[in-house]
Structure 1
Amino acid sequence: MLAIGKPGYALAAREAVTSFLRNTDFEIYIVTDRFSAPMLPPSPRIHLDLLDAARQEYRADGFLAKFDALAWCLGQSSAEIIVQVDADTILLRPLAAAEVSTALGEQRMAMVEQTGIAGSGMTPGDFQEHYSKRSLAFIDGSAAAPPAISFRYFNSGVVLAFRDELQLLLEWVAARRLLLPADHSVGAHMIADQDYFQVWANSVVPDRCASLSWQWNHCGHWDTGFPRRDALIAHFSNFCNGPEFETVLAMHNLLAEGPDFLAEGPAGPLLDNAATGQPADLAFIIITYNSSKIIGYCLDALPDQHEIIVVDNASTDETLDHVTHEGVTTIRNKNNEGFAAAANQGAAAASAKYLCFLNPDCLVTSAAVEAALSTLRRKPDAMIVPDYVDWHGGVTAGRQPGYSRLKLTADLLDNNGMAKWARRLRRLPFYHDHKWSWPLAAALFVRRETFHAIGGFDESYFCYMEDVAVGFEMARRGLEIVELDHVLPHLGQRGADIPTSVRISLIDNARLKFAELHFGRAFAATLRGLRWVLHRRLGIRDALRRKWWRALEGR
């Protein structure tokens, strides 16, 4: 399995690997990167090879790395038969080695034939034309295309193969790649791993590849009724675009359905995370508001042996109905008290020595938790934050430089339709105040005594900027914000289901509050005047646009 690049691949791979741990006794080999590896489930049956994803120059490199993963697997394993699956697959029932061998039969490799694309008019003839004019023409223009009667448009999301056949395939791929353009593109079309598998199976060794039944690679892009209960492997393919967040949730929910859908097979041992009966060292405090889509996934990702407190701010989407995990303490507020007040409620209810304030759209790893606790034991008066990676792979530092007047002004401009002017301000000296820093509190670790000693979060902030304010207070007291050498996925504004306009207003109000408390009423009044002007400008612009559209419609 290959899981590199955007966090979606790692989170999908976590679900895929969990399904194979549950339903097989196979050894599992995964090529991944340092950001993705901590997100995978722990098991002695998992073997990892870390790849430097940053060295990939072209889009196709991430897909062609599958061949590097297969070569590494062959070098590590002595198994005679290899099952290669994409990271966005789920094994739906127990699978034994004998069933894989039977599926291969007398052939050396086997894949499922893709017969169409849902919602399109693609025919087998269209697939063959695509194969001949793009895949075959690029990879080996001298090879003959098969006759229509024997052509099969194989999908490489699931591949069964004997190791000697894979070795021959890898040698052929390596030889072809030496002769081909490195970008692997034909116009707007990308040549990826599947194209090589198709040329191998259709034009190089057409008599050595079998067609598997649909159950081996059941995908909603070409099968009806997805996911069907009589399938073996469900494939959540997104046509080389990587898993979407909704895809990962669908995979997770499919696994969570348990024995009603997924059989409990001969799973090998996961690492023992059972509770020990000892008092928890750490309490996770999660504040929710209309977080029903994400809270269950967040809780499932938490390591065991820790206290968990969910404080709900009067959600209207039945968020707490999704908090079904044993041992979770829930606090249901009758009104939306805001993040700061709810977080302080959770801290007051906690009994653990250390606290982690966790956004419901941020996922923690066991390694990050252990590192944070280790740091807090050495620096008990510090606050600890990891870095964060968003869904698109962008990394944001957990420890942020302090706010200046310039920074507050730029953020207000950026939030209200003046991004160009905001960018100009960000290039100016003294944009950041480097004399202090604040923790981006999607996952903030702190000793409970330290948190209470600094007064907790300032409840005059309803939502946003309370982490900036707590950083300012830490600096005032000479206390340290420590950046952890771990990166956690932060799924970005999925924690609370609120309209964008409301979110912008909350952020603006919080920045104005910070400006007044730390830079004085005069500066805050100036920013309020600026916001009024910007709102008037946006209102006039929108009115002119509506008038223009009405004029066009009247023609």
Structure 2
Amino acid sequence: MVAALGDRRIGMVEQTGIAGTGMTRADFLESYRRHSLAFIDASAAAPAEHHFRHFNSGVVLAYADEMRRFLDWADGRRRVLPADNMADNYMIADQDYFQVWANTVAPQHCTSLPWQWNHCGHWDEHFPRPGALIAHFSNFCNGPEFESVMAMHALLDDGPAGSSPAKNTLVEQPAELAFIIITYNSSKVIGYCLDALTNRKHEVIVIDNASTDGTLDHVTREGVTIIRNTRNQGFAAAANRAAAATSAVHLCFLNPDCLMTPAAVEAALSTLRQRPDAMVVPDYVDWHGNPTAGRQPGYSRLKLTADILDNNGMAKLARRLRRLPGYDLESWSWPLAAALFVGRDTFQAIGCFDDRYFCYMEDVAIGFEMARRGLDVIRLGHVLPHFGQHGADIPSSGRIRLIDAARLKFARLHYGRTLAAALAVMHWVLLRRLAIKGAWHRRRRRGMGRR
């Protein structure tokens, strides 16, 4: 910090633009004149453009005496200024006070720090750069974007220094719990997932479905057992294979984009010790704070129909179907298996996951089987972060195809061939409709481009 400040007392990084806007220093200076300076001290003069720096206050380095001088000045200004902190529909915030201090009040005390001190994707190209000292996940008061955080985390060395590739850690005395994580091109999130599993007394098994994105580089760490599939076997088959490789008393099938907490683990194990024939599942919250119940009501014929409609361009009709009675079946439930706890003996007794499902709906099917046997899915009183649809790097169109195929399979296996055939015909018609609509839009765009 001393070296960065040099002979100056306070320093910030210049924000040279905003991605996608084409803003220049001249634009920032005009905004400074019209908003920051006009509100905070209209009698003061703005600097010339070549002296002006649009400092970003996400990171401020300062000597304590200089910071006290700044705060005393800012506090004095605040006491005489309008309380609404608005200038021409522009919100005056901490950054504006730092701008005026650095450019007009005490420019001789201020220095422009190199980009490494405040590296942000909103004004730096090629974010994140490995040489950054501080990463700034600015998103204009909306919180950090998950993709930016994942990209930054990917720069870190996930394994302890000098660690050797993980070896099979299974021992004669079975562990009480084994975490089973199925990966497929999960390099963006698997590091977070493994970082959260800090209790070394539990097994951690990662079974990889032939990833090609360097997932295994993030998985190879002390205490993790790796099983490598030579091809993508899908979720159910891989989960069953990993479960067969451990003698742990309890299993937790954990998605690579879900973060476990010690409190949830202890609560789940306590429940399973008392109810060894049950399944236990927490609730979830996504990156934006939206909650999802882990214990879901049973899948009806109506729900299968609505979900296929929703996935294929008929969202309005799907919403109408969701309002009809019988959409959710309260007679049985299924566990949203982003973090599914179950006793190993119970898992084997119900036949494990149905590996006729490649991906998706295997958790619905296992809930159906639990209900058929009179066994319970218990909702745990804990909430886990689950960054849904980030667990595998699959294009959204491919994900939709997999989900639709799984729902059609569930319809055939549990509701009969007649419903499955009707849904398959509806699915085909919807796909044709989308293809025709897409072709029409492409032809229209080409026509507009020739005008």
Scaled by the length of structure 2, the TM-score of the pair is 0.81
Q: Deviations over 1:221-263 (max 9, x none)?
A: 6668977787644445455554333421333234428999xxx
Give the Å deviation of 1:554: 5.9
Corresponding position: 1:180 with 2:84: yes
Match of 1:352 among 233, 248, 263: 248
Aligned to 1:75: none
TM-superposition CA deviations, 1:130-162 (whole Å, max 9, x none):
11212344x546563444387543221112453
Report what 1:521 is aligned to.
417
User: 1:284 is aligned with what amino acid?
Assistant: F
What is the 5 A alignment of 1:243-322? 243-256=144-157, 280-305=175-200, 306-317=202-213, 319-322=215-218
1-structure distance, mates of 2:376, 2:220: 37
SS of aligned partner of 1:256: coil
SS at match of 2:441: helix
Aligned to 2:378: 482
Taking the aligned partners of 1:226 and 1:244, their CA distance within structure 2 comes to 13
- Whether 1:387 and 2:287 are equivalent positions in the alignment is no
Give the counterpart of 1:511 among 407, 410, 431: 407
Give 2:95's match in structure 1, choosing from 189, 194, 198: 194
**1:111 maps to what in 2?**
11
1:372 Cα offset (Å): 2.6
Q: Could you give the per-residue CA deviations for residues 494-552 of structure 1, whole angstroms, max 9, x where no partner exists?
A: 22223333322221121122222332222222212222222232233234334444554
Q: Does 1:324 align with 2:220?
A: yes
Deviation of 1:440 (Å): 0.9
Please tell me whether residue 155 in structure 1 is matched to residue 52 in structure 2: no
Q: Which runs of 5+ in 2 are unaligned?
A: 162-168
How far apart are residue 285 of structure 1 and its match? 0.7
- Aligned CA distance change for structure 1 residues 191 and 159 (closer, same or farther; 3 Å): same
- SS of 1:310's partner is strand
Moved more, 234-243 or 506-515: 234-243
Pairing 1:120-131 to 2, within 5 Å after superposition: 122-131=23-32
The percentage of aligned residue pairs carrying the same residue is: 63
How far apart, in 2, do the equivalents of 1:302 and 1:190 lie? Answer: 42
1:400 alignment partner, SS class: strand
Q: Cα distance, 1:123 vs. partner? A: 4.8
Deviation at 1:421, TM superposition (A): 0.2
- The reply on whether 1:210 has 2:110 as its aligned counterpart is yes
CA contact (8 A) 2:159 2:221 kept: no
Is the Cα contact below 8 Å between 2:37 and 2:46 reproduced in 1?
Answer: no
> 8 Å contact 1:219–1:237 — kept in the other structure?
no
In structure 1, how many angstroms separate the alpha carbons of the residues matched to 2:127 and 2:304? Answer: 49
Query: Shift of the alpha carbon at 1:407?
Result: 0.9
1:424 CA drift (Å): 0.7
Query: Does the CA contact (< 8 Å) of 2:74 and 2:97 recur in 1?
Result: no
| Alpha-carbon distance in 1 for matches of 2:411, 2:323 | 21
Is residue 376–residue 447 contact of structure 1 (8 Å, CA) maintained in 2?
yes
Amino acid at match of 1:367: A
Pairwise CA distance, 1:468: 0.8
- Check the 8 A contact 2:5/2:11 in 1, yes or no: no
Q: Distance in 2 between matches of 1:122 and 1:142?
A: 24
Q: Would you say the 8 A contact 2:8–2:111 is kept in 1?
A: no
The alpha-carbon distance between structure 1 residues 459 and 111, as it changes in their structure 2 partners (threshold 3 A), is same
Separation in structure 1 between the aligned mates of residue 410 and residue 53 of structure 2, nearest angstrom: 64
Distance in 2 of aligned mates of 1:106 and 1:502: 55
Match status 1:530 vs 2:431: no
Q: Equivalents in 1 of 2:126, 2:423: separation in Å?
A: 55
Q: Take 1:438 and 1:160, find their aligned partners in 2: how far apart are those partners?
A: 53
Contact kept? 2:160, 2:221, Cα under 8 Å: no
Q: Secondary structure at the match of 2:390?
A: coil
Partner SS for 2:12? strand
| Distance of aligned partners of 1:141 and 1:434 in 2 relative to their CA distance in 1, 3 Å threshold | farther
TM-fit CA distance, 1:352: 1.9
Give 2:318's aligned amino acid.
A
Out of 360, 372, 384, the position equivalent to 2:268 is 372
The alignment partner of 2:144 has SS state of: coil
SS for the counterpart of 2:298 is strand
Distance 1:283 1:243, change over 3 A: same
Gap change, CA 1:521 and 1:215, over 3 Å in 2: closer
Structure 1 gap segments, 5+ residues each = 1-98, 261-274
Counterpart in 1 of 2:166?
A: none
**Cα distance change, pair 127–232 in 1 and its aligned pair in 2 (3 A):** same
From 342, 351, 358, the equivalent of 1:455 is: 351
Query: How many residues are paired up?
Result: 435
Q: Deviations over 1:389-418 (max 9, x none)?
A: 223332222111111121111001111111
The 3-state SS of whatever aligns with 2:256 is coil
Query: Matches of 1:488 and 1:499 in 2, distance apart?
Result: 25
Q: 2:165 is matched with which residue?
A: none
Instruction: Give yes or no for the alignment of 1:494 onto 2:394.
Output: no
